Structure 1
Amino acid sequence: MSTFVWSPSDLEDAPVAVLLPGVGYPVKGPLLYWCGQMLAQSGWHVQAVEWTIDDDARSDPQPFVEKAVAEAFDAAPSSSRRLVVAKSFGCFALPWARRNGIPGVWLTPVLTDAGVRTALAEAPVTDMAIGGTADALWLPASIAETRANVMSVPRANHSLAIPGDWRGSLTAQSAVFDGIASHLGLT
C-alpha cells in the first residue's frame, strides 16, 4: 500500500483529507476523483491511498484499512482539521475514525459488516454516509439512530450509478457531489 499527495495546499495549517479506495474502485474513480478535486480547490491538502488487496486483507479488512489510514495521516502535514473520504472497502476505517474523532464522507459503506454498521450508527453530525437503494450492502434502516447525514440515491447500485441510464447516473452523482459540498460547507 502507498500514499501520494493528490493535491498539496499552500495554506498554512490547511485541512487534510485522506482518500481511501475500494477493492476495485481506485482513488481516480469518479466518486473519489471529484471529491478530491472539490477539496483541493477549496484549499485542502488531499492525501490519497493506493493498495492491493490480498486474501488476508479481504478476510480481515479492518486492521488493513486502519493501518493505511493512519499511515496516510502520518505522511500528510499536521492539521487541526482532518477528514476521511472512503469508498466501500475503505469504509472499514469507520471504527478507527470514531476512535480518533475524525469525521468522514462514507461512500457506499459495507453495512453488512457489524463493525462498520456500529461505527456509522454512532457517528456524529460531522459525518456523511451515501449509498444506493439498489445496493445490497446499503442498509440505511440498520443505522436509523445515527446522527450522521445519510443520503440514499434512488435506483443506484454500489457504484452510485443507475444501471442502463448514464444520464440518470450523471444526474444522481452530481446531486451526491452537491450534497457533499453542502455538508462540508464548501458551497
Structure 2
Amino acid sequence: MKVVAFNGSPRPQGNTFHSLKTVLEVLGEEGIEGEIVQLGGKRLAGCRACFKCYETRDGRCAQKDDEMNFFIEKALAANGILIGSPVYFSNVSTEVKAFIDRCGMVAKANGDMLRGKAGAAVISVRRAGATFAYSAVNFFFGISQMVIPCSSYWNVGIGMGPGDVLKDQEGVETFKTLGRNMARLLKQIFGRAI
C-alpha cells in the first residue's frame, strides 16, 4: 500500500513538510509506503472550465503546459492521499487550490476515479485560518467519494519558522494519531489484516 503526500507549501522543508513527514513516519511503522511530492512553488494554472476532460475521459487534464498530469498520476497510483497546505489568508495555497480544482474535475469526468481512496488534510498554520484550509481539502475528498480518516483533533500544526511545527506537541500527537488511524483505515479498505 502507498500514500502520496502533496506538499502544498513553496517551502520544500517548511512546516508543512515536517507535518506530512510526521504522518508518513507513523504510516511507515505500520508497513505503508509513503512519498512526499512537492506541489508548492510549482507553476500550476487553475482550472479553465474547458470541460475537455469530459470529452477525452482519459484521466488527464487538457492543459499540458505544467506538471498537473504528473500529480494526477501520483494520486491515482496511491491508495491514500495526504494534502498538506500552509494557510494563506485563511485558506489553502494557490497550488493546492489548483490541484483540488483540476484533479477534482478530471476525477469527476472519469467516473469519480478517486472513489474509495483514503484522504486526509494536513495543515500548518502560524496563527489563524487553519479550519478553513482544513475544510477546503476535506470538501475535495468528500465530493470525490473518498474516505476521510480523522484524528484526536483537526489535523493542524502551529509554527512560524521552518521546523517550528515540531515544537507544537499537541499538533505532533494529532499528526501521529492521524497516521495510525489512516493506516487502520487503509488496511480495512484494502483488505490487509489489522
TM-score by length of 1: 0.52
User: CA 1:104/1:40 → structure 2, altered by over 3 Å: closer, same or farther?
Assistant: same
Aligned to 1:181: 180
Aligned to 2:120: 105
Unaligned runs of 5+ in 2: 49-60, 86-94, 124-129, 186-193
Query: By how many angstroms is 1:43 displaced?
Result: 1.5
Aligned to 1:9: none
Aligned to 2:79: 82
AA at the equivalent of 2:3: A
Query: By how many angstroms is 1:26 displaced?
Result: 3.0
AA at the equivalent of 1:67: N
SS at match of 2:24: helix
Question: Which one of 124, 148, 168 corresponds to residue 127 of structure 1?
Answer: 148
User: CA 1:73/1:27 → structure 2, altered by over 3 Å: closer, same or farther?
Assistant: farther
Query: By how many angstroms is 1:25 displaced?
Result: 4.4
Structure having the larger proportion of residues in helix:
2
SS at match of 1:100: coil
Query: By how many angstroms is 1:49 displaced?
Result: 1.4
SS at match of 1:19: strand
Calculate the aligned-residue CA RMSD, in Å. 4.5
1:72 aligns to 2:58 (yes or no): no
Question: Which one of 11, 20, 27 corresponds to residue 6 of structure 2?
Answer: 20
Structure having the larger proportion of residues in strand:
1
TM-score by length of 2: 0.50
Unaligned runs of 5+ in 1: 1-14, 130-148
Q: Judge conservation of contact 1:106–1:128 (CA < 8 Å) in 2.
A: no
SS at match of 2:158: coil
User: CA 1:65/1:180 → structure 2, altered by over 3 Å: closer, same or farther?
Assistant: farther
User: CA 1:100/1:32 → structure 2, altered by over 3 Å: closer, same or farther?
Assistant: same
Query: By how many angstroms is 1:127 displaced?
Result: 1.1
